[in-house]
Amino acid sequence: MSTTNPPSTRDVMEQILSATSDLTGLVNPFAAPVGPAAIVIFGAAGDLTKRKLLPSLYNLAAANLLSDKIAIVGVARADMDRETYRAKLEEDMRQYATSGTVDPKVIEFLSKRTYYLSGNFENADTFARLSTLLATVEREQGTRGNVLYYLSTAPNYFSIIADQLAAIGLTRETDGAWRRLIVEKPFGTDLESARMLNQQLRRTLREDQIYRIDHYLGKETVQNIMVFRFGNGMFEPIWNRQYIDNVQITVAESLGVESRGGYYDGSGALRDMIPNHLLQLLTLVAMEPPTSFEAEAVREEKAKVLRAITPMTPEKVLSNAVRGQYDEGMCGGKPAPAYRAEEKVPRNSGTETYAALKLAVDNWRWADVPFYLRTGKRMAKRVSEIAIQFRRPPQLLFRNTPVEHLSRNVLLIRVQPDEGISLRFGAKIPGPTVRMGNVAMEFKYKDAFGSTVTTGYETLIYDCIKGDPTLYQRADMVEMGWAIVNPVQEVWRALPPRTFPNYDAGSWGPDEADEMLKRDGRTWRRIED
């Protein structure tokens, strides 16, 4: 019988500290620079690269978490030479730096290790030239044949690029070198397309070479959920159906679709946010304690949660799923146009900009505890949070006092902005009579650990180079996420919306979402601060 050594105390401490430290501020004392590697970015001239990936690499370099044997290889259709791309890289890093200022030495460190290749992703010659360039990079920068391929491209290129890389041997691992592929979202558009993409990628790559990214899992507060739950003895004993009444997960944006109307109208709020971001947050809240912080132990517990979510019948979709589309209104004190008036959006569009679901996790811990998920654009404010609402205590003790109604205790995990955790509870208002008011104990990241801003991609890139897939999704997890929303997609396709637009810009969504909770005797948490 084979045995596996348990993680050492140092291993566990490194996991905990890496989840709570700021890569560009408080540097983890146990963290070491990653090993040699070439980072090949397909779509290197695109928006994601300049706004997120390059600032992330800058932050990693500034925190001394990149090897001096690292290289960046940009691949895109834009016709430019290496020096032109280097100048663009330096300009983008200065413009989109998360700290507002940059260290010229860090930019120089990355710039002199940067290369560029112009080519079409469907052309085999592009990959032949890439193979030659990677040999040069290995010789000049000492990358030892290790390559991370980052697909920062449109989804229709994911399998094409993987096939082209494999055809020329660029995914083959020899002489101890590794080859890994990061796939950006969206990973499919429904269950069938996600299954097909998984099959296409696994034609040429092993599962352990595929890293399906969800940048929400790179956010410090999200990573801290496991540490908060399993590293503190006071919370886990009450983290169950006996004490918790319901869980509300909100990801709201105050912005509209801006210039992305053409893309967004083919996607919508449900597809864009729930199978990935919101379900990932749900799994971290609902998972059982893993046997260790090893990647497969953590991912298996998250997968168990997805398997336990009760599938929705078409009848349940009608009562437990709500969609909405924003009308004109006021956001941040300024007039905001209706969705159908946005650029590149059809004037009769039936695409939802708001989606809310009621889900049930059918296991021992969570039986009869509803999980309410909502996400939308042009909401009253930008906020991502998880609200754990506890059961009310018996009213008997207060029957002869002016206290008419005991409010619920709420544990609030704020993902963005103002990342932190707060516990809301009742306390007696000073005076001769028994009156209760709500108070809060607050923890804010910026107060405890500084206010350095990251992109959310730093940890994910760092982990991929290390070969740690803990924060990445497995193939089965992606497919289970789509399976959960698949019945909703089918019903919404069959029944076009008749009431769109049905909520004002600057509000908290359509009345139907309030009615969904009202039927259960509950309300959405009022988000005021």
Residue positions annotated with a catalytic role: 277
Helix (H) or strand (E) holding 490: helix 475-494
What is the Cα–Cα distance from 101 to 95, expressed in whole angstroms? 9
Beta carbons within 8 Å of 120's beta carbon, 6+ residues apart: 77, 126
What is the Cα–Cα distance from 390 to 64, expressed in whole angstroms? 43
User: What does the chain come to in residues?
Assistant: 529
**Token pair in block for residue 341:** 């008036």
What is the Cα–Cα distance from 450 to 193, expressed in whole angstroms? 42
**Token pair in block for residue 393:** 């205590």
Q: DSSP states of 119-163 as a string? A: --TT-HHHHHHHHHHHHHHHHHH--TT-EEEEE-S-GGGHHHHHH
End-to-end, the C-alpha distance of the chain in Å comes to 55
Q: Which of 524, 529, 47, 39 is nearest to 247 (CA)?
A: 524
What is the Cα–Cα distance from 322 to 373, expressed in whole angstroms? 10
Q: Are 284 and 222 in contact (CB under 8 A)?
A: yes
- Report CA dihedral (498, 503, 508, 512) to the nearest 10 degrees: -30
**Token pair in block for residue 111:** 């710039």
Please state the separation of Cα 179 from the chain's center in Å.
24
- 3 state DSSP class of 418: coil
Half-sphere exposure of 105 (CA within 13 A, CB side): 3
- Omega within 30 of 0 (cis) for the link into 417: yes
